[in-house]
Amino acid sequence: MSIALPDLAAMEAFGKRIAEKLRAGDVVALTGGLGTGKTTLSRAILTALGHRGDVPSPTFTIIETYEHLDPPVVHADFYRLEEPSEVEQLGLDDYREGAALLAEWPDHAGGFANEAGCLQIALEMADEGRLAVVEPGAGWQERWP
């Protein structure tokens, strides 16, 4: 399913749609090249869940946590991982306990498409805006669209 995201307002609305369905254990796997809007969409989801304040890009920290939300959220950017096995050293599984994961560059962590709770979103440039191609995992079938 493709969704046109012509501007930042469309990104906010899309993030809200995802936030309304998000549960602990889910992964929102955000693929797409540099600058395609992965962090922007993550911010929109966090804002819709009620987060107020900064959402720093996890480019350097790799993992940022938002434990006060329902569900709690782990926002990760795996771009800097040299190989997928490094996710274990990060303790990702512990962070994910009871939380939803928003993952930028998921392929650098081995990918999450094998998980039923994975909502795959591929972002692409489209004129001034973006296009999202959404692939819901088995656990999302009754929630999406």
Interface contacts to ligand ATP, rule CB under 6 A? 5, 7-8, 10-11, 32, 34-40, 77, 104, 128-130
Question: How much of the chain is in helix, strand and coil states, percent to nearest 5?
Answer: 30, 30, 40
Report in angstroms how near the CB of residue 116 gets to ligand ATP at its nearest.
25
Partner that binds at residue 130, options Mg ion, ligand ATP, none, CB closer than 5 to 8 Å by kind: ligand ATP
| Positions 32 through 71 that interact with Mg ion (CB under 5 A) | 38-39, 57
Binding-site partner at residue 67 among ligand ATP, Mg ion, none, CB < 5 to 8 Å by type = none
Strand intervals (E) in the chain: 2-5, 27-31, 63-66, 73-77, 100-104, 118-126, 129-136
Q: Within a 13 Å sphere around the CA of 96, how many CA atoms are in the beta-carbon half?
A: 16
Provide, rounded to whole angstroms, the least separation between the CB of residue 61 and Mg ion: 12
